[in-house]
Amino acid sequence: MVCLGNICRSPLAEGILKHKVEQHGLDWHVDSAGTGNWHVGELPDHRSIATARQYDIDITYQRARQFRVADFEHFDRIFVMDTQNYRDVLRLAQNDAQREKVKLILDLTHPGENRSVPDPYWDDDGFEHVFQLLDAACGKLIQP
């Protein structure tokens, strides 16, 4: 799960998917990162933490990190939150196999529409909407 700073959207996506993976007894490794390095080592945004907590999801163990080229080797799928993240991650890809791993997360719920998860950083009221978008997308990932 990749967003800009790894403090708002991608930590929510990581927490939601980990929660669903645990509920379904799946053996998946889920992580998140940001394309930028501004918040490396920091907790998720307090509003992401509060929103996740409303759904009994704890994301306080997470710490922001920057996406790195090695992530292409460690993960089968790389879901990005918006078109800028998509372009930034693709720039780091070294071959077609790596590029094929990168997808917009909302393509899971809105195939081919290239929708972006809005960045709620500047809108306190946006975190619930982002949670609902990511919850629906992560639900699609879990469906058999």
Q: Is 9 a catalytic residue?
A: yes
| Position 143 confidence tier, pLDDT thresholds 50, 70, 90 | confident
pLDDT at 144: 66
The per-residue pLDDT for range 20-68, each reduced to its tens digit, is 999 999 999 999 999 999 999 999 999 999 999 999 999 999 999 999 9
pTM of the model: 0.96
The per-residue pLDDT for range 67-122, each reduced to its tens digit, is 999 999 999 999 999 999 999 999 999 999 999 999 999 999 999 999 999 999 99
Which of 71, 82, 119, 135 is flagged as catalytic?
A: 119
According to DSSP, the residues that pair with 103 across neighbouring strands are: 79
**Ordered DSSP codes for the chain:** -EESSSSSHHHHHHHHHHHHHHHTT-------EESS-TTTTPPPPHHHHHHHHTTT---TT----B--TTHHHH-S-EEESSHHHHHHHHHH--SHHHHHHEEEGGGGTSTTS------GGG-TTHHHHHHHHHHHHHHHHH--
Which of 9, 45, 47, 88 is flagged as catalytic?
A: 9
Query: Which DSSP helix (H) or strand (E) runs through 72?
Result: helix 71-74
Rounded Cα–Cα distance for residues 13 and 122 (Å): 18
Q: Is 138 a catalytic residue?
A: no
Pick the CATH number of 2-142 from 3.40.50.2300, 3.20.20.70, 3.30.70.980, 3.30.1330.10: 3.40.50.2300
